[in-house]
Structure 1
Amino acid sequence: MKAVEASRLSLSLNAQGVVQFDDRGRLFEVKVAPCVETSPDECVGTAEVSWAAATFSPAGSAQLPSLYWSAEDSFFAGALRQGHGATGYSIISSDIDGDGVEELLFHTGREGGYGGPSYAVFRWESDGGAWLEAPELSELTVGSTGVFSTDATAGASVWFADGCCRRIGERYAIQDGMPRLIERRTETLAEGKDNEVQVTIETFEGGSLVHSTTETTVAEGVK
């Protein structure tokens, strides 16, 4: 499937809490009502989202107990690369599992790292012919410092922070909506040495640890 050029939309709800917009020929309608203001550019409330069919996505709808709607960062479509800047968008459309159908991620909570956004991930289940939440994928956004980073060959990666001096990156292969851990990278600032970081890389097969290496390198912006 041809890579999608990243696009970003800033959209305000009308007085009834409704907005419609077009994404590459796919019409969306979002209703968030009532939408309680959390900041000058954001509100949250129960939501109904529906979208028409497109070549990259069957038609569908989602009933959400909550949706954080940002008038500034409303909608993002495109590949999720390292530093993609999609974290915090209300709705994200991206093919995170490489099956040719873009998943939809909805900003439904504040359970990311340091109170950041967490997402409900919906994917098309071709066997059942329906859009359903993939809870295992949604769970990966809880505690993470950003939404997925994806790569066609490397899989999907998420990062977590553990205090001031350690961060953990996990890489998953995704099949049928199920993430399978294949690598964990732990970076820890060496005690008493602000310019050194200890890096441990663990590889997994079938859920079991099969190999682990640790080395010390020069720190590059580890917080």
Structure 2
Amino acid sequence: MDFAQARFNMVEQQIRPWNVLDQHVLDMLLDMRREDFVPAAYRNLAFVDMEIPLGHGEVMLTPKLEARIIQELNIKKTDKVLEVGTGSGYMTAMLAREAHHVYSVEIVPEFKEQAAEKLHAHGVHNVTLEEGDAAQGWDRHGKYDVIVLSGSVPVLPEAFFASLNPGGRMFAIVGDAPVMEGKQITCLGDGACRTTILFETCVPPLRNALQPQRFSF
């Protein structure tokens, strides 16, 4: 398989048409070897517009969704990033390309170990991988400039809002299946935030995500 050609086709046929037009992001996608981050059994499907199973009931997000997240967050070289859900490590690697440092928290020990090997092989060193449950917040490293949730949540915990620096950005997919919204939240300071709805989608939820109060009769 010509992986370089497959990456090019992924960018031109899936990602660019989904309003990912930042050439810097597109160049990074062409350079980053996505096939190295998917499970070996799915390597030939690394560039297909689908969620790839990772095991333990988890999936790797579609290429166009990962690309859109990176573009919308507009990450700077000075940014401290929190990623909730390391998964395959592919998003982690892209975040690390753009940021000063990434703290990535994974609840499945096996994923953390596999991601560590892949990131090391790709020369990515500005990442701290941690094992834990960050679905409702992770304040061990103070406040962050960027927060990314890799799975959906029915409601977004207040702890994440409190963990953003002024000017900080957060991406989260919020709602219940079958319709969820990809949102970007920007901290304006003094507890004020601006929320922008980017698109509708539907992805698997984070484990132990905060649940809304539901009435029963």
**Which has the higher relative contact order, 1 or 2, with Cα contacts under 8 A spaced 6 or more apart?**
2
Specify the structure having the higher radius of gyration (Cα): 1
TM-score by length of 1: 0.26
TM-score by length of 2: 0.27
**Structure showing the higher helix proportion among its residues:** 2
